[in-house]
Structure 1
């Protein structure tokens, strides 16, 4: 394991640089020989895999991150997607999810911000183009993006708010990457505008998953909802999902806080300018830290047991990305905050009063 000297994140009184590096090493320790970073059950999906690579990049574990990106190139299908689940390098579920494909653009843009390595970004560019073209191929005339194309290449019948919010960030990162590399992609920008408006103004466009905390904070995290409306959105469900001293629930109807959702909420709060709340949630979730630097996936606070009884790479990755955002340690620390630095142009295809105006 070759480590590139970097300024590691530090959040005073919460997490030290040495602890961040230890957490990154816990991710590297579960990376498979072919470069995949699996869930505790052994499967790899492209979204969580990219998140882990971003965390490795923050911590200076560049060789491991690059092996992970090589895994993505190797397993990308001709249509630009990845199988929902890969086990041992083979597809275990063949459908391709739109939000999985879109997240590659976030990872490659983040890598370029942190490392400045344009040669690597150019090498990844064809894969990014295929991935985002797959994504916009699932966009409806109103603007939402259907959540998957199944094994028979049939599009799903509905869209998911959390997935579309992440896709919005992916499209914005893709546009920025395209501009940097001198290969503009206006179709992506138009797709992002339509999608951002639907996320902000058309809840009816999405399947009802409101019991999940991700549907609460992801429109802010992905960048489609910012400013006063972001603060109002956070306030509306704060007491539903945030458990003082423990972190954020995964779902509203279970006494279960999870580390990944807690740290994603931290990133959303930071992006919305709610720094003190972000610091508070980040401090609260540290009870999930294991002595080896990894993090338990969650805590069932009625039974007082870790649930599920596992430590996950994606949770550790979310901790590192949250620490970087709060500390500003790397040039990529604003990758979530900056996702909202764009005025969404309203299209006229959704039929609402705002669009007609």
Structure 2
């Protein structure tokens, strides 16, 4: 386990990466909204208010009229202009987390229009069955398929958005319905998603995002535990490579913590600390066959995942329960999605 002081040091390593315009980039230089928001959440835990403020200003400046963000920006210029739905949805998780940590209602109210636009963009790309396609391209065309990891993260964003809406007295029942439908598809319709099963994220993200909990969640994690978990090192990013990654390991820690499986969460968190650098940053991964860091970089999103996992385990901030508390409670009627009739997915009119 790491200390509060070490968490602050790790947050400082993220702040050191922040660009002049407020964006928090990947090691290769581009910024995307999802990883940027995760880094802001981590810095919020550590109390780094000024970098967080600048980061949310970056999001406000770069949000488009339809509520989305460009998939990748370099120096503030879109280089991949499509709008990913999971990027847009994560703003709700970030703003709700910031509210929990700081209690700053004025800042939350200021961010509310940004959240509303983003989540309305997201639910506008939900199919008849309930999955949400992964992007709308630069020409305005909706993608033909959905991603399980992305939809699991979207589920969390929608649940956080509902909590925000209720807290601010501006209920958005269509978001709650969208989350219920999405949770059903995530738990009951694996055929709805493109096959990315070699990636560990597709294994644990339905639990992390709150769509699958209870006995079904434990059974899901047990199914591929030996495939992805490397004792003493962390978890693999992909099933067929001797490569463990810190961000994925810490996300699994968060999923386990959300289930109350604290012993395994603590063990995995301890196991991945071999990736910690002396300056508080974290190597992205470790290729354990060649015994080399791979890729040879220390990434902000890895440091952010470490901080969020440490917060969940140590309860360092009022936002430490974010991942535990976002599971839905309502039950979606399978008849509505066509389970009984075996109907497939169909894009909404106009997409």
Q: Give the TM interval when normalised to the shorter protein.
A: over 0.9
Aligned to 1:38: 25
Which of residues 201, 219, 231 in structure 2 aligns to 1:214? 201
Q: Does structure 2 conserve the Cα–Cα contact (< 8 Å) formed by 1:193 and 1:346? A: no
Aligned to 1:311: 298
Name the CA distance, whole Å, in 1 between partners of 2:341 and 2:164.
30
TM-score if structure 2 supplies the norm length? 0.96
Aligned to 2:132: 145
Q: Does structure 1 conserve the Cα–Cα contact (< 8 Å) formed by 2:234 and 2:245? A: yes
Number of matched residues? 343
Q: Do structure 1's residue 291 and structure 2's residue 278 form an aligned pair? A: yes
Q: Which runs of 5+ in 1 are unaligned?
A: 1-13
Name the CA distance, whole Å, in 1 between partners of 2:32 and 2:333.
33
Aligned to 1:70: 57
Tell me the alpha carbon deviations over residues 189-248 of structure 1, each in whole angstroms, 9 at most, x when there is no partner. 110010000000000100010000000000000000000111111100000000000001
The offset of 1:97, in angstroms, is: 0.1
SS at match of 1:135: helix
Q: Does structure 2 conserve the Cα–Cα contact (< 8 Å) formed by 1:175 and 1:184? A: yes
Q: Do structure 1's residue 92 and structure 2's residue 86 form an aligned pair? A: no
Tell me the alpha carbon deviations over residues 262-290 of structure 1, each in whole angstroms, 9 at most, x when there is no partner. 00000001111111110010000000000
SS at match of 1:67: helix
TM-score if structure 1 supplies the norm length? 0.94
Q: Does structure 1 conserve the Cα–Cα contact (< 8 Å) formed by 2:25 and 2:36? A: yes
The offset of 1:341, in angstroms, is: 4.8
Name the CA distance, whole Å, in 2 between partners of 1:132 and 1:212.
26
Aligned to 1:3: none
The offset of 1:66, in angstroms, is: 1.1
Name the CA distance, whole Å, in 1 between partners of 2:334 and 2:45.
37
Which of residues 78, 86, 92 in structure 2 aligns to 1:105? 92
Aligned to 1:115: 102
Q: Does structure 2 conserve the Cα–Cα contact (< 8 Å) formed by 1:250 and 1:261? A: yes
Q: Which runs of 5+ in 2 are unaligned?
A: 344-351
Name the CA distance, whole Å, in 2 between partners of 1:73 and 1:118.
17
The offset of 1:133, in angstroms, is: 0.4
The offset of 1:253, in angstroms, is: 0.3
